[in-house]
Each structure stands twice: as C-alpha cells, then as structure tokens.
Structure 1
Amino acid sequence: MVPYNSTSLFSDAPPLTSLQSPTSSASDAHALAHLMEIVSERRLHALFQPIIRMQSGEVIGYEGLIRGPSNSPLHSPLNLFKVARANGMSVQVEHLCRHIVMSQFAKSGLPGRLFLNVSPGTLVHPEARQGETLRYLNELGINPERIIIELTENEPTYDYTLLRNAAMHYRSMGFQIAIDDLGEGFSSLRLWSELRPEYVKVDMHFIQGINLDPMKLQFVRSIQEIAEKSGCMVIAEGIETQAELLTVRDMGIACGQGYHIGRPHIAPSTSISDEMVKLLRREKTPLPANNAHGKNRATVLKLLRVVTPISPDMPNDQVYALFVNNPDLQTLPVVSDSIPVGLINRYSMVERYARLYGRELHGKKSCTFFMDSQPLLTDQHTSLQDLSHILVQAEAHHLANGFIITDEGRYLGMGSGHDLLREITQMQMDAARYANPLTQLPGNVPINEHIEYLLQNGVHFCICYCDLDHFKPFNDIYGYRRGDDMIQMTGRILSEHCDPDHDFIGHIGGDDFLIMFQSPDWQNRCEKILAEFGKVSAVFYNEDDRLREGYFSENRKGGREFNPLVSLSLGAVLIEPGQYSSPHQIASAATKAKKLAKKTPGNSLFIEQRAPVSFAWAT
C-alpha cells in the first residue's frame, strides 16, 4: 500500500477506463459488459435496515445496503463485487455504491445515523480524490457526525499503521468507526485492537441460535466484557427470532439488527412495532447491583456449564465408560430431541453397577434404567435467588445432582448446587459490604455502578434525589434513636413505591436517598411517596408539636427558634442516552434538582424541565 494521504477521504475513484484484468471466457466477458453497463448508468439502488437500542427499542440508525438491477445475475452484492474484483473495478464500484446509498439516505429523510460499508483497502486507496465525499455530504446536507464508517472485511492482511492513521483522520472530520462481522473474517479482533472503533458488530453466526448454543453465548459475553472496558458499543447482527432478541437484550448488548427487528427496505420504518417495544421493556433485568429488596437479578445462566448430553438409547456400558474416563464428571443429562428427560448420577450408577452381576444384567440395557426421570429443571432466566428457594424446598438429592438449565424447555447445559451456593454467598457478602448499615439499602459503590451500567446500556431513566428537610433540629430535639427510626421509615416508603424489577433505590447516607426509576409511571410513584410520608411521619411527634406543625429549639446564639415538621423533597431529572457521560455529571444534575425542590415549603417534587423533549416511556 502507498503512504496515507492525510487530506484525502473515501471518495469517488477516477473515471472508468480500460480494463486491467481481461476475462478469459464468453461468460466472463458478458458479466463484465453487464457490470460496465450498470456502473455507467448507475443502475444500483439502496436498501436500509434499522439498528435499534435493545433496552428501549429506539431506532438509532440504518445500515445502507446496495442491490443491483432486479432479475439480474448481479442483483446480489456478493455477485456484483465478485465480478468487480475479478476485473479490477472494486474501488470504482464501491465508491459508486456509497454515493447512491448516501444520496438515497438524504432523500428519504431518515433519522439517526447511516452505517456506510467501506472496505479497508478502499479506505486508503491511492487513487481516491481528495475530500470528494465531504463535499458530496455537504451537497446532500448530511453532517459527517451522522456517518459511521463500517469497515467490512474481505482481505487477509492490512497495513495497520496506514489504517490507524486513516481512522484518526476520519474521526477528526466528525466520522465514527465501526467494525463489521466481528469474529467472522481474517483479523477482525486485531482490527478492533488497532483502531479502537466506536462500534463493533458481532457476526450473525454467533447471534443466530445464541439462545440454544452455550459456546455462542460465551463468545458474545466475552465480546461484551471487552467492549464495556474499552468504551465500545456492541451491535448484534442477524437477530431472527424473539428468543435471540431477548437473549441478546438480557446480556446487556447495546444495539441489535436483523430480520426479526426489520428487513432491509427502500423506505424503512422510523420506529419498530409497539409490541416489540413493550417486549423489550418488559421484564427487563438492568439491575446488576442489589435492588430495593436486596435481591440480585443475576440468573442461572451465570452458572451454565457445557456438558454434552447423552441419548436415552445409549447402553449402560457406554455411560459407565464415560464416568470412568472422566473422573470430574458427576452427572450426565439425558436428552431426546433437545428436550431433557433425566439425569444419571455418577455415584448412584457406579454403586449399583458394582453389585453382583450388575454389569452382566444391565450393561446392554438403555441408560434410562439408572436415570432419575424427574430431575430439577430451571429456565435460563430464573434468578439465582429464586433457584435457591426452589432447591431448599426440593428433595435433598437435587442439591447433589445439580440441575438442568433450559431455554423454553430445550436443553442448554448443567448447573451445580456447589456453584449456586458460592454465587449466593458472594452476593450476600457484597450486599453486606456495600449496604448502608441503617437501612440495608445499597450504598454509594453500587449506586455509582448502577448509574454507570444504565449509561453504558443506553437506558432511558429518571434519577430522583430524595432528601429530608429540617431533619437536624428534629434529630437534636427528639434524639438520634427517633431520628434513625425516621430515616428507616423513609427508606421503607421509598422502597415500597419502587418496582423491584425496574427501579433501583440506594441510600447515599444520612437522610439522603437516590432512586433510578425506569417505571413509566415514575411521577405518580413520586406523588404517592410524598403523600404517604406526610401521613406516616406524623407519628414521630408529640401531640402539641403536631397541632402547631412544628416545635421550638435553641439556635446557636442561644435564642428560641421555631422549626417546621420534617418534610420530604424530591428532585427529579430525566436522563436520555448520550445526554450525560458519567455518574458524576448525573449526580450533580440530581443534586441541583433536589436543591430547587427544597425551596418549596413542605413535601415537594421538582422536575427538571430542560430534559430533551424526545424522552418517552413505554406503557
């Protein structure tokens, strides 16, 4: 490759000239002639496939896809570029495709961003004209910040220094970078490391059937962990079923794309169906830290172990051999047509097999003879807390045998009682370590972790700062013990009006609390909190103070001072994805809202009205 020209940008190649690679057959010559005709007459059209935010269903942009003439052998982009590569026309065809995609995107008036496919070789091609694409974008009225350069992988090696320099230049002009088909090509992981893109798109191979394949699940989970640490956003490609959609959502993947969400179309919708929005927002599990009731939302999927199942017709001799050859194997799941039908425990089988004539009598028989036909089954979405309750109530042998993890009844893998006990113990230790000792609600560490989690996953939420007014004089007059009782009472009221599956409540310290609402009726919940606090808090005062609605205390100068009854102020701020970049900024905004709420006497709610008007909730 030639040195990168820092003033050039991916743009139109020189005009079509003589062919560099003449074809050797009549069919090749016909394909080339057809390609030249398509290029010269610009007989290509663009389709757009929506990309959504998984936690909310919001369409964030579209991938631009190219198609050749209908009823043509070059209708498919694969065939189109195959002929182009064979005849040295890849750069010319690719630039034409991008012009057509950008032009149709502008004419359609579609919102959000455009993911524009670009090959790394074309990105730094020496024959690209300087700044042509920027000028074309200006003509179309498209801000470069709306364009995501999606690098498609079709070459085995790259000049990574050249690409790094190119990526830096494009970013300086406002563009962002995405890597397409992560895990599919020659060196996509190396590209990720070298270019540090803003987006990575996981190849559809790892998404299709992810709800049934533990290996795919683990691969995507690893990609997600790397992305979280590198500040990158993951897009899952090829989502074709509801099960895949929900599995990807529950893993915390930021964005999704696929036929189940929306097919490529010349005039795609700017929103997904109401049913899908409700599905995505229903039964969400965005609470990695302890919620208001101390329950952890981790699921049994965290305990998944890949154990190859056996079929019911496998003879006992073969099962016995599996146990002998695998000393660490404790149980074997028995599965028929992906449906689990039983478990075989190592010690139970070996003990019975060792009896007099045990091998002779049973060796050739079906393994179902030694099988527990009523194993403990649990769906992958079951919380660890719920599973622990099930195990406590189940017969004792299930703790030793372990449990089969399923997805809508189909076998996924195994889990052990030992692993469950370890996770539950760790959860309890973490809860005790970071909980406020007075209310047992999550403290500052899990509060910040949860805000960070919501930010990374692009979740719409409302942060509500809750603070008691005139609490210090109450504490001084009535004593610290009654003051602690009032703080505990406040924590209980707040918790009772939060949805444990959607909302997170934390205790900052003293008489200060924070709630991260995802419930769509958050304002109604706030009003109920204030009403109940006003009613319940009256029991903390003697009759005279209640009647005069306050009490006298001595101020710092030794004078007599009247203090109103303790009231509750709530300061709420609506948070939209991309609006803030850190928990510190969000906490600062909530603190300002709380201060404004405290300016209103009595129990009050202040809502920051300067939030973007596009903020909306599902109902």
Structure 2
Amino acid sequence: MLSLIDDEISELRNILAEGLLVPVFQPIVDFRARSIFGYEALIRGPEGGSLHSPDQLFAAAKRAGLALELEHACREASLRGFAAQSLVGRLFLNVTPGCLLDPQLMNGHTQALLRELGLPANRIVLELTENQQITDLPGIQEALLHYRGRGFQIAIDDLGEGFANLRMWSDLRPEFVKIDKHFVHGIADDRIKYHFVRAMQDLAEICNASLVAEGIERAEDFNCIRDMGIACGQGYFIARPAPKPPRHLPPAVSSALDQRRISLTPLASGSGKLPTARTLLRAIEPLSISATNDVAIARFEADPELYVLPVVNAGQPVGMLNRHSLIDRFARPFRRELYGSKSCDLFMDHAPLIVDEQASIQELALMLALAPKHYLYDGFIVTGDGKYLGVGSSQDLMATITEMQISAARYANPLTQLPGNVPINEHIDRMLGADVDFVAAYIDIDNFKPFNDNFGYRRGDDVIQTLGQLVCEAVDQRNDFVGHIGGDDFFVVFQSVDWEIRCWQLIRSFAERMDAMIGPEERAQGGYMAENRRGELGFQSLPTLSIGAVRVQSGQFESHREVAAAASVAKKQAKKRAKDPGGVIGGSVFIERRRLGADLVVPASRQLN
C-alpha cells in the first residue's frame, strides 16, 4: 500500500516538475450575443497515465500535501494554453477558496504572468469551487476586494448543489453564478426544476449577477434555458472540453439559436414586432487592429460627436476605444511621442459588450444592468453572424425602453396588469403570420354578476384577480400567452401540447379557490339567495368557469378578428353546456373542431365531476 502511495506521489511530482498537465477548454455560449462568451479551463493529467483523470489527480495531490502546488500549476498551464491559442472572450479559472489566501497568488506572480502573456485581468474570471469549506470568510472577502481592484471578476460554481454556495452568493456577491447541472438536465420537461431556476434568475437580477447554466446536454434543455433569458450556458450539447476548442458556434448550436419561439410579451404597438439591438445601431466606421493610436486620436479630433471607436480584426470586433480615456492618456507629457505609433489595441477595452443584432431590447437592458458601469458610457457593439455591424448607445436603449413601458402601461389591464385587447390581438396576428399552430381559449366566469352584486365589487375584484393568478399558474409560461380582455373574461393563446389538461386543471383550481372565499353556509348549500338579472330573488349558484377553445392551424384564419369570433362562439357553447340541467355543475370546456370548408361543428364538452 505504501509503495502505491509512493509511486503516486512520485508520478505527481514528475508531472509538476516536467509541466505535463494538459489544459482543456469548454466554451460558454452567450445566448443574447449568440456568440462564445468565453471558456472554462479544466485540467487533465498525461494521457494513458494513472493520474489522467482530474478526480484522481486532485485526490492524489491532497493525499500528498501538494494541493496548492497543483492548483498553481493548473492555473499557469491554463493561462498559457488560453493565450497560446488566442481564444476569444473570458477565461474561467477554477480556484478553491483556500488558494485565494495563498501568498503565491497574491504576491503579484499571476499579474506578472498575465502581462507576459498579454492578457488583461478583466478577461479572467476566478471561479470558486465548493469542494473546500470557507473557514475565513472575512479573509476571503478581503482577498476578493484585492482581486476585483485589479480587474478580475468572480464566479461561484454549482449553485443549488448545497446551502454553502447560497451563502457564498450572499456574502461574496459574485459577477457570475453557475447553476448546478442537476437543475439544468431535463428542465424542459420538469416544472419543478424550471421554477427553481426561475427563482435563481430572480435572485441574480437582484444581485446584479449573470447566470451560467452548466450541464446542457439536450437540445430541448438548451432551448428552454435560452427562452428563459438565462445569460449563458455550457455543456456537451454545445461542445465537450478539448485541448483545441471550437472558436465559433457549432452548427447545431447556431441552428438551435435560430429557432426562436413567438414572443409571449409583445410590448410594442403597431406592427407587433419587438425592437432589437439592430434598431439601435449606428454605423461607425471601425478601426483595424493594425491602426495606430495616432489614427484613433485623429478620428476623435475630426468628429467631436464621436465618443467611441470599435476595433475589428478581419471584420470581427475585438475591442473598443473610449474618447475621453484615450485623450486623457495622451494629454500627459511625451505620451504622444511614446505611444502614438503603437497599435491601438494597447489602450482599448479588450472585453467590450458585444450583442447579436437579434437580441431583444429586454435582453440588452439586462446585459447592461449586470455589466460593469463603464459599459453604460461606452455602449455596445452590434454584430450579425459574428461580424461587426455598428455601435449602440445606452441613451438610445433607455429611450426605447421608456417608450415600450409607456405602451405596455397603456395596454395592460389595470386590475390584473395582464396584457389587454391590443397586445392580445397583436400576439394572435404574429402567431398567424408565423404559420404557427396554436389553441385560442376564451375563459369566462359563470354566475359572476349576481356574486358581484350580492357580495360587493371588492369581493368581485378578488375573484377576478384570483382567476388571473390561477390562469398564469395553469399555463406553461415558456409557451403560452395570457391576456385579460376585461371584466371576468380572459384569453389564452396556448402552444402547449397538453393545453386541454391545463384547462380542466384550471377549472378545478378555480372551484377549490371559490370554496375558500365563501362562508360555510354558502359552501354547504352550493350557493346563496340573491336577486337575478331580472330583479327576482332566487337561489344563485357559485361562480364557475366556462372555457371555449378553438384549434388554429396554418391557413385556417386570416386575422385576430376571425380567431376571436370563433373563440367567442366556442365560449358561448361552453356556457350553454355549463347550464345544462342534466350535467354536474362545476365548469365546462367546449372545443370547436371546425375545419375550413366544413359546416359541421363537433363539440367535445365535459362536466366537472
């Protein structure tokens, strides 16, 4: 046994002494920019050796008391491998909390190595792993302040794996948070995982952090994460870790990014098309990476309204020059003589904010909110298929968002804040224009007026607000659009394949909630005595739901008016069924199965048992 351990230690020391560690890199995709955001550096031992696996490698180092030495060697190998290949974006380096306090990391060695390699610190993300308990939290916080002051950013790994990294998030306030792969794998088919990740997303927005979904292995999960608005993702579906990773998005990933679903929150009026980054771009002639600082200064001096200059290499954006920063540098004595003839990449921001032309205004606003403050002044670079198109400003973005918010407020229902008639109509027209099959469902409360008259409008508003909440809970928020027509009428545009089951679940949920909102006497009698529409005193049943549904297929309807009319007819049929004295009162769903050229309507209506 001792011989095996001695052999293991000897092999490990040889790996460290000979520099035999092999760095591999796994790309991280930025969903909003539709590009590679950066790479996570992982490490392997020599191929074919007993310590090739990272688990065996680090376990051996721990047993041998060489954990810190191995971590330093991994960091140096990863930085050199990243720089040697001139990989784009940020580099995520795995670091244990204990290593942050090690003098070798804080003594400037890493900064010297970065200068040697030509890597600015703002491209390096220190990713804290949870395989080591934090025993000196104040010391870690002081260390992070030190690293942030030098330009490094911080990430925490495997959010959701344990309570410790939730506390790390709260105490350390990282710029990036990685979601544990347990919550990512199968998220497209698991509502619980979906809502867990949605909660993480809400926390990230509050904490100004960007989420990275790890372990994406299926196209369905990739699409779900993308549609949720998560910032970044990585996993085998995108690419496996490799010594020479892909520099551009693989075709399968580009294809998945192109498969956009119909937006569920159309805030813009008129055409129904949401503004994108392309609508904000200004065509500024970029500088070539080979241009000198003198050329850049001349461009700024010739145009007083020019505040930034994008820098490109073979058509791809690689940096951004800020007018005030550059002129301030050259205002010092002899700076023009020393640096004027040098390349403009010397003083440019090597990590500008880059977005794809198809990025929505909401995505763009979130990116700016989570980015360092200087991006608010510099703006962002807009690309198409990875090529430079122009530059956008945060002022134009804010003006557009303000217009959208005013429009949204104008068209939202004041009681439920759900989209009203105009957004509903726009969304239906967009669905029809995209030739997407869907189901239009008209939801109405039966026996609502007597209830409202007898118990008061405040109780009536409570019922309407309750129904709005239940409808939002019943639908798939990734696929289905919920609107409030007015009063007690709601409208849902379903893309979910199990829409009919969701309708019946809604009817049951509403009946249960009504039971909780009335007194024991009304509950026991199943109703109450009140005046009807003709002013006659009589027994009134408790409010229930009627849902009329219409299947809409490509080419069947031409406008939202036709869809709304068909759904209204189906709703009336559902209400008739609900009043059928032969049925059990509780709710009704009527499905119209009409086809073009056919007069026959075959109902599929059932009573709630």
TM-score, with normalisation over the residues of structure 1? 0.50
SS at match of 2:311: strand
From 259, 262, 266, the counterpart of 1:285? 262
From 293, 315, 332, the counterpart of 2:292? 315
The alpha-carbon distance between structure 1 residues 613 and 529, as it changes in their structure 2 partners (threshold 3 A), is: farther
Match of 1:336 in 2: 313
Shift of 1:548: 1.7
From 369, 374, 385, the counterpart of 1:397? 374
Match of 1:608 in 2: 592
The one-letter code matched in structure 2 to 1:383 is: S
Distance 1:287 1:335 in 2: 36
Say which is worse superposed, 537-546 or 521-530, in terms of deviation.
521-530
Distance 2:427 2:459 in 1: 31
Distance 2:456 2:420 in 1: 24
Judge conservation of contact 1:550–1:563 (CA < 8 Å) in 2. Answer: yes
Match of 1:553 in 2: 530
Q: Does 1:540 align with 2:524?
A: no
Q: Does 1:572 align with 2:549?
A: yes
Match of 1:116 in 2: none
Shift of 1:500: 4.0
Shift of 1:355: 2.4
Q: Does 1:422 align with 2:399?
A: yes
Q: Does 1:442 align with 2:419?
A: yes
Distance 2:534 2:430 in 1: 48
The alpha-carbon distance between structure 1 residues 534 and 316, as it changes in their structure 2 partners (threshold 3 A), is: same
Unaligned runs of at least 5 residues, structure 2: 1-222, 228-251, 579-585, 599-609
Shift of 1:324: 2.0
Shift of 1:424: 0.9
Distance 1:443 1:303 in 2: 28
Judge conservation of contact 2:450–2:531 (CA < 8 Å) in 1. Answer: no
The alpha-carbon distance between structure 1 residues 557 and 305, as it changes in their structure 2 partners (threshold 3 A), is: closer
Mapping for residues 483-498 of structure 1, pairs under 5 Å? 483-498=460-475
The alpha-carbon distance between structure 1 residues 580 and 569, as it changes in their structure 2 partners (threshold 3 A), is: same
SS at match of 1:599: helix
The alpha-carbon distance between structure 1 residues 342 and 380, as it changes in their structure 2 partners (threshold 3 A), is: same
Say which is worse superposed, 527-536 or 364-373, in terms of deviation.
527-536
SS at match of 1:487: helix
The alpha-carbon distance between structure 1 residues 408 and 456, as it changes in their structure 2 partners (threshold 3 A), is: closer
Match of 1:590 in 2: 567
Mapping for residues 45-64 of structure 1, pairs under 5 Å? none
SS at match of 1:466: strand
More relative contact order, 1 or 2 (CA 8 Å, 6+ apart): 1
The one-letter code matched in structure 1 to 2:519 is: N
Judge conservation of contact 1:288–1:296 (CA < 8 Å) in 2. Answer: no
Shift of 1:297: 5.5
Shift of 1:280: 9.5
The one-letter code matched in structure 1 to 2:443 is: C
Match of 1:305 in 2: 282
Match of 1:374 in 2: 351
From 482, 491, 496, the counterpart of 1:505? 482
Distance 2:379 2:439 in 1: 41
The alpha-carbon distance between structure 1 residues 301 and 399, as it changes in their structure 2 partners (threshold 3 A), is: same
Distance 2:431 2:262 in 1: 11
Match of 2:70 in 1: none
Judge conservation of contact 1:572–1:608 (CA < 8 Å) in 2. Answer: yes
Judge conservation of contact 2:262–2:431 (CA < 8 Å) in 1. Answer: no
The one-letter code matched in structure 2 to 1:495 is: C
SS at match of 2:462: helix
Identity of aligned residues (%): 47
Judge conservation of contact 1:296–1:383 (CA < 8 Å) in 2. Answer: no
Q: Does 1:384 align with 2:361?
A: yes
RMSD, aligned CA: 3.1
Judge conservation of contact 1:287–1:297 (CA < 8 Å) in 2. Answer: no
The alpha-carbon distance between structure 1 residues 354 and 280, as it changes in their structure 2 partners (threshold 3 A), is: closer
Mapping for residues 186-201 of structure 1, pairs under 5 Å? none
1:103-157: CA deviation from partner (whole Å, max 9, x where unpaired): xxxxxxxxxxxxxxxxxxxxxxxxxxxxxxxxxxxxxxxxxxxxxxxxxxxxxxx
Match of 1:349 in 2: 326
The alpha-carbon distance between structure 1 residues 545 and 425, as it changes in their structure 2 partners (threshold 3 A), is: same
The alpha-carbon distance between structure 1 residues 556 and 325, as it changes in their structure 2 partners (threshold 3 A), is: closer
SS at match of 2:577: coil
The one-letter code matched in structure 1 to 2:392 is: G
Match of 1:528 in 2: 505
Distance 2:436 2:443 in 1: 21
Shift of 1:434: 1.1
SS at match of 1:598: helix
Judge conservation of contact 1:467–1:511 (CA < 8 Å) in 2. Answer: yes
The one-letter code matched in structure 2 to 1:452 is: D
Distance 2:257 2:592 in 1: 27
Distance 1:373 1:506 in 2: 45
Distance 1:280 1:580 in 2: 29
1:56-83: CA deviation from partner (whole Å, max 9, x where unpaired): xxxxxxxxxxxxxxxxxxxxxxxxxxxx
Shift of 1:282: 4.7
The alpha-carbon distance between structure 1 residues 416 and 613, as it changes in their structure 2 partners (threshold 3 A), is: farther
The alpha-carbon distance between structure 1 residues 568 and 331, as it changes in their structure 2 partners (threshold 3 A), is: same
Judge conservation of contact 1:379–1:406 (CA < 8 Å) in 2. Answer: yes
Distance 1:341 1:280 in 2: 22
Distance 2:410 2:419 in 1: 9
Judge conservation of contact 2:440–2:491 (CA < 8 Å) in 1. Answer: yes
Match of 1:474 in 2: 451
Match of 1:236 in 2: none
The alpha-carbon distance between structure 1 residues 288 and 414, as it changes in their structure 2 partners (threshold 3 A), is: farther
SS at match of 2:551: strand
Judge conservation of contact 1:300–1:383 (CA < 8 Å) in 2. Answer: yes
The alpha-carbon distance between structure 1 residues 406 and 527, as it changes in their structure 2 partners (threshold 3 A), is: farther
Mapping for residues 120-269 of structure 1, pairs under 5 Å? none
From 436, 440, 455, the counterpart of 1:463? 440
Distance 1:279 1:358 in 2: 49
The alpha-carbon distance between structure 1 residues 357 and 286, as it changes in their structure 2 partners (threshold 3 A), is: same
Distance 2:520 2:589 in 1: 27
The one-letter code matched in structure 2 to 1:464 is: A
TM-score, with normalisation over the residues of structure 2? 0.51
From 599, 607, 614, the counterpart of 2:576? 599
Distance 2:417 2:273 in 1: 14
The alpha-carbon distance between structure 1 residues 428 and 343, as it changes in their structure 2 partners (threshold 3 A), is: same
